Amino acid sequence: MGAGTIPIKEGTLDEDIIDKLPGDLKKIAELIGVENTMKIVDHWGGSYISIPSCLNLKRDVNIAEACKLYDSGGYTIRNLALRFRVSGRTMATWLKKGQKKTIEPKEGHGVLPRTGDQ
């Protein structure tokens, strides 16, 4: 998409370049560096791009990690819920999704059944 590489004088400090960048490009350069920012500008300069938050991907990674920890036997649902900053019910749902089967809590693990669920 871009028209070519943006020329930068040799010896120019990154801080000098960052100060001249407009808007969000300044924040991007501070995060990933000037060289990588210029690659983005070269490729997508002049275009409007939207960067997704990838919440589903992040959640899937967390579910996989929680299942791994739970299966190790060293963590309860409550421990994992606190570690991943979710409720116990959400953690139980994550574990069910991650294991694709009903959770069979180990001795001393899991949550207590609610009244009327017995």
Please tell me the predicted confidence (pLDDT) of residue 49.
Answer: 85
Query: Do 43 and 58 lie in a common domain?
Result: no
Please tell me the predicted confidence (pLDDT) of residue 53.
Answer: 84
pLDDT tens string 100-115: 644 444 554 444 444 4
pLDDT tens string 91-101: 999 998 877 64
Q: What is the domain count for the chain? A: 2
Query: Do 62 and 73 lie in a common domain?
Result: yes
* 38 or 16, higher pLDDT: 38
Query: Do 110 and 78 lie in a common domain?
Result: yes
Query: Do 41 and 58 lie in a common domain?
Result: no
Arithmetic mean of pLDDT over the chain: 79
Residues 31-38, mean pLDDT to the nearest whole number: 90
Query: Do 30 and 85 lie in a common domain?
Result: no
3-class SS letters over the chain: CCCCCCCCCCCCCHHHHHHHCCHHHHHHHHHHCHHHHHHHHHHHCCCCCCCCCCHHHHHHHHHHHHHHHHHCCCCCHHHHHHHHCCCHHHHHHHHHHHHCCCCCCCCCCCCCCCCCCC
Query: Do 58 and 116 lie in a common domain?
Result: yes
Query: Do 32 and 62 lie in a common domain?
Result: no
The boundaries of the domain holding residue 101 are 53-118
